[in-house]
Amino acid sequence: MKGIDAILAEHPFLGGFSRDALSVIAGCAANRRYDAGSYLCREGEPADHFFLIRHGRITLETNAPERGALTFQTLGEGEILGVSWLVPPYRWDFDARAVGLVRAVAFDAACLRGKCEADHDLGYELMKRFVPELVRRMQAARLQSLNLYGQTE
């Protein structure tokens, strides 16, 4: 069975991370398994984790009265779940539900924030990975909102 360091080293989000840095953040990480239909996080709850998705698919949802759960994005293998752990007041803004079996690495947010505060180089390396991901998702959300496929002839 692979150690957590090896699992982290293989995840695309942490590509290029030094062995030492991986070893430091591995102390905050744990393997998790979620069965189909279970939730990795719920809107409004403390965002005390962020996740590297290793296997499976997750839907991001918000609930609307009389409409139920509205899915606005799906995430899959090689992607990350969660940025709310970075931004006070550290609460989830949506639900994340496992579509099928999901395997993930969960990072303890307080632990990781503490390590980033103690070692700004480490924090900067992490931010260099989070910011492009955030920009990509923001651009995708903008395009999604434009209803491009509905434009008239």
Binding residues vs another protein (CB under 8 A) = 12, 57, 59-60, 68-74, 76-79, 99, 136-137, 139-141, 143-144, 146-153
CB distance 111 to 48 below 8 Å: no
- Minimum distance of another protein from residue 119's CB (angstroms): 27
Q: Which is closer to another protein, CB of 1 or CB of 148?
A: 148
Give CA–CA dist 51/110, Å, rounded. Answer: 14
- Minimum distance of another protein from residue 71's CB (angstroms): 4
CB distance 54 to 30 below 8 Å: no
- Minimum distance of another protein from residue 20's CB (angstroms): 26
- Minimum distance of another protein from residue 148's CB (angstroms): 4
In this structure, how many other beta carbons lie within 10 angstroms of the beta carbon of residue 7? 19
Q: Which is closer to another protein, CB of 37 or CB of 88?
A: 37
- Minimum distance of another protein from residue 19's CB (angstroms): 24
Q: Helix 19-26 and helix 120-145: axis angle, to 10°?
A: 80
Q: Which is closer to another protein, CB of 72 or CB of 124?
A: 72
Give CA–CA dist 11/79, Å, rounded. Answer: 8
Q: Which is closer to another protein, CB of 101 or CB of 146?
A: 146
CB distance 8 to 46 below 8 Å: no
In degrees and rounded to multiples of 5, residue 45 shows phi and psi of -80, 160
Q: Which is closer to another protein, CB of 60 or CB of 122?
A: 60
Does a cis peptide bond (omega within 30 degrees of 0) precede residue 89? yes
